Chain A
Amino acid sequence: MSALKIKKGSSKHSAYNLRPNFSDVQETHTIAVLVENEPGVLARVIGLFSGRGYNIDSLTVAEVDHEGHLSRITIVTTGTPQVIEQIKAQLGRIVPVHEVHDLTVEGKSVERELALFKVNGTGDKRVEALRLADIFRANVVDSTLESFVFQLTGTPDKIDAFADLMRPLGLAEVARTGVAALARGI
């Protein structure tokens, strides 16, 4: 077959994603961005999202290489396939950005988030909260006679599910870190 007759939608022949890019389907992607840890770099990334009207569902950032002054920003974003491609290309052209990885399409990955839940209550509700926490493998990191602070690590879905269960049991406050993610394997 002539190389010219590239089937629409095939990405075999291209360094680029040639899927029909302009569909209305919304996809959620987790993007890992390795950046030089210099002042203003987070503002550049966030400014790109607000300036071009992209969504940020979750964003985490911390320095991961102290010697190389590299930070890793993990962004969960939602958009059409075309918008996701643009987000990656636009991130890539920010000068202090070293690498951009779309963990959602580059093979399997693991995603984890840490959350703290303050649950106030006494009597049966308190016991039930503790029992559910045990099922979810949440740890108690603070306790008074009328409250717990649970620490839970897991996927965002698991944390959502736990929050839903805690709500009728006296959930007072939630703090979440946002998603950290890594590709599986070597």
Chain B
Amino acid sequence: MTRQMTGAKMVVQALKDQGVDTVFGYPGGAVLPIYDEVFQQNDIRHILVRHEQGAVHAAEGYARSTGKPGVVLVTSGPGATNAVTGLTDALMDSIPIVVLTGQVPTFMIGSDAFQEADTVGITRPCTKHNWLVKDTARLSSTIHEAFHVATSGRPGPVLVDIPKDVQFASSQYQGIPKVATSHYQPQVKGDMQMIEHLVEAIEMAERPVFYTGGGVINSGPAASQLLREIVEATGFPITSTLMGLGAYPASGKNWLGMLGMHGLYEANLVMHGCDLMINIGARFDDRITGRLDAFSPNSRKAHIDIDPSSINKVMKTDFPVVGDVAHVLEDVLNLWKARGRKVNREAIARWWKQIEEWKKVDCLKYKPSEGTIRPQHALSRLEALTKDRDRYICTEVGQHQMWAAQYLGFEDPNRWMTSGGLGTMGYGTPASIGVQIAHPDSLVINVAGEASWLMNMQEMGTAVQYRLPVKQFILNNERLGMVRQWQELLHGERYSQSWSEALPDFVKLAEAFGAKGILCKDPADLDDAIMEMLDYDGPVIFDCLVEKHENCFPMIPSGAPHNKMLLGDASTKGAIGAKGAVMV
């Protein structure tokens, strides 16, 4: 069989060889030869989005819910620039994405040709790596290298820019190299000496905590399994960042809930008061640490991360271990077992007693819904009615996202898709489409705010076209809720531009798209309305009118340490000083 083929055919062949079954994309002049090849085969399914940003977020949803890289195909110029937000989002959250962009022919590059943009220049800071392929002979090997880079080490987005003449020209196709030819081979095994120090610390700790992040989920199912094993065996409490939810089950007895700015009271106080903090695949993000010089002042800190640049970046650690979470946890667990499974049981029992005291504060309690639906209540009911189902949750960004993290429970990894690092409003709708494509028979819900949801609502067209029964659960407060909350706390209740005076009728909007719309405003109707949404076999826009001025608590004001949390209805006036205000 001849392996001589056009560049366009090579692209499709390379994707097939990489095991790609789905591509999210949008055609245009500079990728027409590739689209022509896509048309002439049936192995790879192309999902036509409505906007290139949606393509990348959909690929992110696909990647995060499957653990496989997401693939995007878009055209040159505006196709590439529209993908930039998605690329940056994937870079911040370490999601493996391969984006293929068309480019004007090589001989026209630099001439300001129609739909020309310096795609590799524009995307250089928002990809893990990118390539401009100027020679068809190097196209297939570059695509294979792109998959290798996207999925090795700390995962991330990569981009391959393919000029149109390179797509037309023919050359020899190179398959996936059988031996590792790339010099890019990140270290996965941790340093055994440092692991031994960490195990000694585990044996002696009196007030330990596991602080886990998205790295556990990125490392794969083995990492979550090992994490569960080590948590059960040691009896240590565990908390997680927004990105790491589901690695340890929310129903697990050692689970404290999410930590951070809107994390649970007990989780943050455990972080503040611990004497050994074991950071696994998290990065001491500023939404987690609050004021750095007051962050967990009396603890020794271990940090397991595959990216050496994460270590000592913002927080100096005592036990740094560079390596893949699963590899390192396996070594930690084996060594700890071999040394006799020792922990300081007595001290840890005291520690749990203290934690139980903190739990009694019941920081997630909220006023009952009387007349209007409280957003917390809406999510509690959504949780109650869906938790036993095969369920995937996406979110947009804002108050609803934090409430979803607080009130929904995640039992398994890869079930929770949210834009953590970049905080991209408009992420959830396309992400839910990507998840539903990967899991056609599962329940996929996008918990949204109406403002975020409107940012990529065009993707409802995609949902309807592919008959994806995604449930858009919109907590509609007619406000930019998180912005409004900050304005209330920080800016003298001057609500500058944080509400919309012209919202669409979401039920009619759903019908216009060919989806089902449900409006719910009475707490008494909520359960029936949610059941109606769940029972409908098709995409639904659920417009849940909620209390307009609800604030998201608990909350660590910017510039404050973990033990200065604001709880519910406590007076919040003057809670944030001028110094904190700049850290928002």
Enumerate chain B residues within 8 angstroms of A4, measured Cβ to Cβ. Answer: 197, 200-201, 204
What residues of chain A lie closer than 8 Å to B184, measured between beta carbons?
95
Q: Within 8 Å CB of B130, what residues of A? A: 40
- In the assembly, what is the distance between CA of A104 and CA of B309, in Å? 20
Q: Given contacts A4-B204, A43-B121, are A95 and B312 in contact (CB under 8 A)? A: no
Within 8 A of A (CB), among B304-321: 307-309, 311-313, 316, 318, 320
Give the shortest distance, in Å, between B23 (CB) and chain A (any CB).
23
- Nearest A residue to B321 by beta-carbon distance? A15
Q: Name which of B188-196, B399-407, B449-457, B497-505 contacts chain A.
A: B188-196
Verify B124–A40 contact, CB threshold 8 A: yes
The 8 A CB mask of B93-137 against A (1 = contact, 0 = none) is 000000000000000000000000000110011001110100000
Between A4, A44, A95, the greatest number of chain B beta carbons within 10 A of the residue's beta carbon is seen for: A95
A13 and B197 in contact, given A43-B124, A47-B124, A98-B183 (Cβ under 8 angstroms): yes
B200 neighbours in A (Cβ, 8 Å): 2-4
Closest to A50 in B: B125
What is the CA–CA distance of A13 and B200 in the complex, to the nearest angstrom? 14
Quick check: which of A84-92, A116-124, A175-183 contacts chain B, the rest being far away?
A: A84-92
| A3-B196, A43-B124 known; A16 vs B183 contact (CB < 8 Å) | no
Instruction: Answer whether residue B149 sits at the interface, using C-beta atoms and an 8 A cutoff.
Output: yes
* Chain B interface mostly: mixed
Q: CB distance B196 to A92 under 8 Å?
A: no
Say whether B120 contacts A40, CB under 8 Å.
yes
Q: Is the CB of B311 within 8 A of A21?
A: no
A92 contacts B201, C-beta separation under 8 Å: no
Residue of A nearest to B204 (CB): A4
Q: Are A89 and B309 in touch, CB under 8 angstroms?
A: yes
Given contact pairs A14-B194, A15-B194, A92 touches B309 in the complex (Cβ within 8 A): yes
Q: How far is the CA of A89 from the CA of B283 in the complex (A)?
A: 14
Residue in chain B with minimal CB distance to A82: B312
Q: For chain B residues 135-180, which have a beta carbon within 8 Å of chain A?
A: 149, 153-154
The answer to whether A21 and B128 have CB atoms under 8 Å apart is no
Q: Are A93 and B121 in contact (CB under 8 A)?
A: no
Task: Answer whether residue A161 sits at the interface, using C-beta atoms and an 8 A cutoff.
Answer: no
Q: Which of B173-229 contact A (CB under 8 A)?
A: 183-184, 191, 193-194, 196-197, 200-201, 204
In the complex, chain B residues whose CB is within 8 Å of the CB of A98: 183
Q: With the chains together, A85 CA to B316 CA distance in Å?
A: 12
A92 touches B308 (CB 8 A): yes
Check B309 against A93 for contact (C-beta < 8 Å): yes
Q: How far is the CA of A107 from the CA of B191 in the complex (A)?
A: 24
Q: How far is the CB of B184 from chain A (nearest CB, A)?
A: 5
| Chain B, Cβ-Cβ closest to A17 | B312
Q: Are B128 and A95 in contact (CB under 8 A)?
A: yes
| Interchain CB contact under 8 A, B183 and A86 | no
- Number of residues from B at the complex interface, CB < 8 A: 31
Nearest-CB residue, chain A, relative to B120: A40
Contacts of A93 in B (CB 8 A): 153-154, 307-309
The distance from the CB of A14 to the nearest CB of chain B, in whole angstroms, is 7
Interchain CA distance A12-B265 in the complex, whole Å:
38
Interfacial chain B residues near A86, Cβ < 8 Å: 309, 312-313
Q: Which of B128, B197, B316 lies in contact with A3, CB distance below 8 A?
A: B197
Q: How far is the CB of B91 from chain A (nearest CB, A)?
A: 12
Q: How far is the CA of A95 from the CA of B580 in the complex (A)?
A: 37
- B-side contacts of A20, CB under 8 Å: 316
Which of A14, A18, A20 has the most chain B CB within a 10 Å cutoff? A14
Residues from chain B with Cβ under 8 Å of A51 in the complex:
125
Per the bound structure, the CA–CA distance linking A40 and B118 in Å amounts to 12
> Is B132's CB under 8 angstroms from A39's CB?
yes
Query: Are the C-beta atoms of B316 and A22 separated by less than 8 Å?
Result: yes
Q: What distance in Å separates the Cβ of A38 from its nearest Cβ neighbour in chain B?
A: 8
B132: A residues at CB distance < 8 A: 39-40
- Tell whether, in the assembled complex, residue B308 and residue A36 are in contact, meaning their CB atoms are under 8 Å apart: no
Per-residue B-contact encoding for A1-31, CB less than 8 Å = 1, 0 else: 0111010000001111010111000000000
Write out the residue numbers on chain A whose beta carbons fall within 8 Å of the beta carbon of B312: 16, 21, 82, 85-86
Q: Mark A141-182, 1 if CB is under 8 A from B, else 0.
A: 000000000000000000000000000000000000000000
Whether B311 lies near A36 (C-beta < 8 A) is: no
- State whether A89 and B201 are in contact (beta carbons under 8 Å apart), knowing that A3-B196, A14-B194, A15-B191 are contacts in the complex: no
Residues of B within 8 A of A6 (CB): 197, 318
Residues of B within 8 A of A94 (CB): 129
A96 to chain B, nearest CB (A): 8
B316 with A21: CB separation less than 8 A: yes
Q: How far is the CA of A23 from the CA of B149 in the complex (A)?
A: 35
Contacts of A22 in B (CB 8 A): 316
Please list the 7 inter-chain residue pairs (A to B) with the smallest Cβ-Cβ separation, ordered nearest first: A89-B309, A95-B129, A89-B308, A90-B309, A4-B200, A15-B191, A3-B197
User: Can you offer 11 A-B residue contacts whose CB atoms are under 8 A?
Assistant: A3-B196, A3-B197, A6-B318, A15-B191, A16-B312, A36-B183, A40-B132, A86-B313, A90-B309, A93-B307, A98-B183
Contacts A15-B322, A98-B183 known; 10 new A-B pairs at CB < 8 A: A13-B197, A15-B193, A22-B316, A40-B124, A43-B121, A43-B124, A44-B124, A89-B308, A95-B128, A95-B184
